[in-house]
Copies of this chain bind each other. A is one copy, B any other.
C-alpha cells in the first residue's frame, strides 16, 4: 500500500475548524462563568448563549482505546467537540443543556472521574519518567498516580483555600516545570557520574560537556581524550549525562526525589514565585512511594488548616514565615535547604526579625 502524498511545513490545522458553533459565535464575547459542580462549569456569553464544560481526569498517557471512547462520548453529547486543558484534563464541551445530565451519567457509569474545577487539586503536570526518558531518576506517571489517588477527593469534591498545582519532573531538566508549582516533586541523583572513558571520545563533544556543568566540576582529561570530574564540586545534577551519555549518573541505590513548594505562575495578589526546596531527598520506593505521599500530605494538610481564603501555598508560607512552615509541617531543616549556588546570598535572612 503506497503511503499517501506527504506534505511539509503546513503547520497544524486551523483552530476554527475545531471550535463548537456556540464558541465560534461568541468567540471573545464571554460575560462570566459559574462553577456548577467540581467538574462542571458554564460560561455565559454577552449574547446569552451558554456553553457547559465537563472536566474529567486523565492519566495523560492515553491508549487509542480510551481516546476512541472519549471521542465517542463527545460525538454523542457534544456534537463531537472536546478539548484538553493545559493540565491535561479532558473537557467535554456541551452546547445543549439537555445533554448535560446524560453526559454526566454516562461518564459516571463508565468510571470517569469528574472534577478539578475551582479551588481544588487538579491534574499533575508531569513528564516521561521510566516510560520513555533516558534521563529519569524516578518515574513520573507512578508518582502522579499515587499522589492523585491520595488527593482524589480534592479533585472530585473538597475545596481548598485556593488551587493547589502539583507537578512532577523525573529529572532536574524539569520538563514538568516544577519550579513554579504549589507543591512539586523533582527526581534527583546523589552520586557522581561514572565516566566510561572508552565511549566519551566517540560519543561526546568535550567542550559542550564541560560547559554543561553548572559548578565547573568537569575538566578535560587529555590523556584519555575524555573528561574528569572534581568530586567535591559535583552535585549530581546530571546535566553532563544529558549531553554526554557515557557519563552514567543513574544509581538505583541513591536515586530518589526531592520536594519543592510555594511556587506559582499567576500574577494574582502576589507575583509569580519559584518553588523552594522543602524535602531534599526521599528514596525511590516504587510502586507507591509512600514516604513521598506522606510528605506531600503533610504540606497539603498544613496548608488546608492554616491558609486564609484565596491564599496559595506560597502566599501562606510567606505570611507565616519559613520557620513556621517547617514547624507546622514537622519537616526537618537541613544543610541542603540553604542555597549555595549563584544567588545564595539573596536567600540569606538579612533581618533580625523571625518567629520561634
Contact of A350 among B271, B343, B346 (CB under 8 A): B271
Bound complex: CA A339 to CA B345 (Å)? 16
Interface residues on A, range: 10 to 19
List, in ascending order, chain B residues with CB within 8 A of A352's CB: 267
Stoichiometry (number of copies): 2
Chain A binding surface SS class: loop
- Tell me if A353 is interfacial: C-beta within 8 Å of chain B: yes
- Tell me if A272 is interfacial: C-beta within 8 Å of chain B: yes
- Tell me if A351 is interfacial: C-beta within 8 Å of chain B: yes
Contact with B along A327-356 (1 / 0, CB 8 A): 000000000000000010110001111000
Contact of A267 among B343, B345, B346, B351 (CB under 8 A): B351
Bound complex: CA A272 to CA B351 (Å)? 6
Task: Tell me how far the C-beta of A171 lies from the nearest C-beta in chain B, rounded to whole angstroms.
Answer: 23
List, in ascending order, chain B residues with CB within 8 A of A345's CB: 343
Which of A343, A351, A352 lies at the interface centre, i.e. has the most chain B CB atoms within 10 A of its CB? A351
Task: Tell me how far the C-beta of A314 lies from the nearest C-beta in chain B, rounded to whole angstroms.
Answer: 13
Contact with B along A236-272 (1 / 0, CB 8 A): 0000000000000000000000000000000100011
List, in ascending order, chain B residues with CB within 8 A of A271's CB: 350-351, 353
Chain B residue nearest to A353 in the complex (CB): B267
Bound complex: CA A353 to CA B272 (Å)? 10
Bound complex: CA A343 to CA B271 (Å)? 19
Bound complex: CA A346 to CA B347 (Å)? 11
Task: Tell me how far the C-beta of A20 lies from the nearest C-beta in chain B, rounded to whole angstroms.
Answer: 30
List, in ascending order, chain B residues with CB within 8 A of A272's CB: 350-351
Bound complex: CA A172 to CA B80 (Å)? 69
Bound complex: CA A352 to CA B272 (Å)? 9
Task: Tell me how far the C-beta of A312 lies from the nearest C-beta in chain B, rounded to whole angstroms.
Answer: 14
User: Which residues of chain A (45-92) have a CB below 8 Å from chain B?
Assistant: none
Bound complex: CA A245 to CA B271 (Å)? 46
Bound complex: CA A346 to CA B343 (Å)? 8
User: Which residues of chain A (216-244) have a CB below 8 Å from chain B?
Assistant: none
Task: Tell me how far the C-beta of A117 lies from the nearest C-beta in chain B, rounded to whole angstroms.
Answer: 24
Task: Tell me how far the C-beta of A222 lies from the nearest C-beta in chain B, rounded to whole angstroms.
Answer: 25
Bound complex: CA A343 to CA B343 (Å)? 7
Bound complex: CA A353 to CA B271 (Å)? 8
Bound complex: CA A173 to CA B209 (Å)? 40
Bound complex: CA A345 to CA B343 (Å)? 9
What would 12 A/B residue contacts be, using CB atoms closer than 8 Å? Answer: A267-B351, A267-B352, A267-B353, A271-B350, A271-B351, A271-B353, A272-B350, A272-B351, A343-B343, A343-B345, A343-B346, A346-B346
